[in-house]
A and B are shown apart, each in its own frame.
Chain A
């Protein structure tokens, strides 16, 4: 048994994605929540690369590449938002940030 079934990779991807969702749901620190999003993105990237292997096409790699680019941009803007929020409210707990209500 020298080869790994492709479903193992996809299952790993699903597990990491679910862990990302769990982080998003159960954590209160906005930075950790943000990192959970990165975790989900990474899980999806793994799926893309796996499918690319299965289909023997390079397209999946390019999707991954674009996801990385967007994630980098998102990290820059998101962290800037976090900085601004912290500056104005002195809190990182996302349950305290609810000014959209009312």
Chain B
């Protein structure tokens, strides 16, 4: 059952991710990205991360992606124009990508033997209670700093996006 669920959502995630990259219209990419995020949320659940799965759906698939789609609609962005060439990317892009992926998979394969497995319910420390406890004890200072970061981001966004007064 675990394997079936994993394979279904892993395939959805990969296909959606490929779609994000290959679609020329930004709105199609955005919808595909929501697909990736949704399937990742299911995988988080399989890994016992209940709180993170919920946050993934609400924050990422909900808020952030809505923001993206707003901007796409606001700018009325059509299919992208194929102007500009980067010699570096043309020459090195594909080989580097293959090297990166190959290295990552190779290391993962070497470092994590097959015998270490994931089964649903094997880790129950990802509840909202457990995350909240860690967040407000061990990680209290980063948490508070994050609130300042968000405040700054809000101010920055307002300053950048407002119409020039003069």
Please tell me whether chains A and B touch each other in their complex, using a CB distance cut-off of 8 A. Answer: yes
Q: Which residue of A lies closest to B151 (CB)?
A: A73
Q: Determine chain B's interface SS by DSSP, over half rule.
A: helix
Whether the pair A12, B13 counts as a contact (CB closer than 8 A) is yes
- Contact (A79, B80) CB under 8 Å given A4-B6, A53-B47: no
Smallest CB separation, B162 vs chain A (Å):
9
Whether the pair A35, B20 counts as a contact (CB closer than 8 A) is yes
Contact among A39, A65, A77 for B135, CB-based, below 8 A: A65
- Contact (A17, B104) CB under 8 Å given A46-B40, A65-B52: yes
Whether the pair B116, A6 counts as a contact (CB closer than 8 A) is yes
B122 surroundings in chain A (CB, below 8 A): 53
Whether the pair B93, A25 counts as a contact (CB closer than 8 A) is yes
Q: Which of A10-26 contact B (CB under 8 A)?
A: 10-12, 14-23, 25-26
- The digit string for B15-59, where 1 denotes a CB below 8 A from any CB of A, is 001101101101001100100110010011011110110011001
Whether the pair B123, A56 counts as a contact (CB closer than 8 A) is yes
- Contact (A70, B149) CB under 8 Å given A16-B14, A18-B97: yes
Smallest CB separation, A84 vs chain B (Å):
5
Give the size category of A's interface with B.
35 or more
Cβ of B160 within 8 Å of any chain A Cβ, yes or no, is: yes
Contact among B18, B64, B84 for A96, CB-based, below 8 A: B84
Smallest CB separation, A60 vs chain B (Å):
8
Whether the pair B125, A58 counts as a contact (CB closer than 8 A) is yes
Cβ of B150 within 8 Å of any chain A Cβ, yes or no, is: yes
Contact among A8, A19, A71, A93 for B83, CB-based, below 8 A: A93
A26 and B51 CA atoms in complex are apart in Å by 34
> Of residues A8, A17, A70, which shows the largest number of chain B Cβ atoms within 10 Å of its Cβ?
A8
A65 surroundings in chain B (CB, below 8 A): 51-52, 55, 131, 135
B interface residues with partner A (beta carbon < 8 Å): 1-3, 6, 10, 13-14, 17-18, 20-21, 23-24, 26, 29-30, 33, 36-37, 40, 43-44, 46-49, 51-52, 55-56, 59-60, 63-64, 67-68, 71-72, 74-75, 77, 80-86, 89, 93, 97, 100-101, 104-105, 108-109, 112-119, 122-123, 125-126, 130-131, 134-135, 139, 142, 146, 149-150, 152-154, 156-158, 160-161
